[in-house]
């Protein structure tokens, strides 16, 4: 039986961080004792990374993965004002695409390649995943336990956000981004 995985990459402002020395923080959620993982894409500490990723897997259907993904995305948006952190949740699109040829060659050596999406993406879990990306790039620490507590509370609340609420939260979070 095919299972599904999800990956949600988002950015945190340079001035604010989740103050954790590790590069992976486990977050246990109530759904079937499901585990989510807050990680960094480059294996540096969570404290030192502007790029953060929440991953989850072994979902029985794409629909189940999409529902959990929606809840993750909404939870991060809701964490912003509570923690006074700006998060850039992206637009669920990859800015770099790997050719079918390279993906097929990776399968031959036992890997599944997915493109690096700024936002939420889903994939069938049939081989170990490698993410391919093209690009590069005063800190206030937030305790990982506080982040986990607020995130889990937002996730457990399963808040449905209207389009207006989504826009307001995205505007709040983007207000932390540096202007060009």
Q: Would you give per-residue pLDDT tens digits along the chain (180 residues)?
A: 789 999 999 999 888 889 999 999 999 988 777 899 999 988 899 999 999 999 999 999 999 999 999 999 999 999 999 998 889 999 999 878 888 888 888 889 998 999 999 999 999 998 888 888 765 445 567 788 889 999 999 999 998 999 999 999 998 888 877 654
Over residues 33-67, the pLDDT tens digits come to 789 999 998 889 999 999 999 999 999 999 999 99
Extents of the domains making up the chain = 3-92+139-163
Can you tell me whether residue 52 is helix, strand or coil?
A: strand
**Start-to-end CA span in the chain (Å):** 47
Angle made by CA atoms 34, 62, 79, in degrees to the nearest 5: 50
Percent of the chain at pLDDT > 70 equals: 94
Over residues 117-134, the pLDDT tens digits come to 999 999 999 888 888 876
Residue 87 pairs in a beta bridge with: 12
| Tokens 């809701």, located at residue | 78
Q: How far is CA 136 from CA 52, 93, 105, in A?
A: 14, 16, 25
Q: How far apart are CA 63 and CA 117, in angstroms?
A: 19
């Amino acid at each position: 039986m095919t299972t599904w995985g999800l990956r949600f990459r988002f950015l945190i402002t340079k001035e604010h961080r989740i103050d954790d020395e590790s590069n992976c923080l486990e977050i246990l959620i109530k759904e079937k004792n499901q585990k989510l993982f807050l990680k960094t894409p480059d294996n540096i500490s969570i404290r030192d990374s502007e790029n953060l990723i929440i991953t989850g897997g072994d979902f029985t259907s794409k629909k189940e993965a999409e529902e959990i993904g929606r809840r993750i995305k909404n939870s991060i948006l809701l964490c912003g004002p509570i923690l006074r952190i700006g998060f850039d949740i992206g637009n669920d699109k990859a800015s770099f695409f790997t050719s079918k040829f390279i993906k097929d060659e990776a399968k031959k050596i036992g890997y599944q390649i997915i493109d690096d999406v700024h936002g939420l993406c889903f994939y069938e879990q049939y081989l170990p995943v490698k993410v391919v990306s093209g690009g590069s790039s005063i800190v206030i620490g937030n305790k990982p336990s506080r982040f986990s507590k607020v995130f889990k509370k937002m996730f457990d609340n399963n808040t449905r956000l209207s389009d207006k609420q989504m826009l307001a939260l995205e505007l709040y979070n983007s207000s932390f981004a540096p202007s060009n």
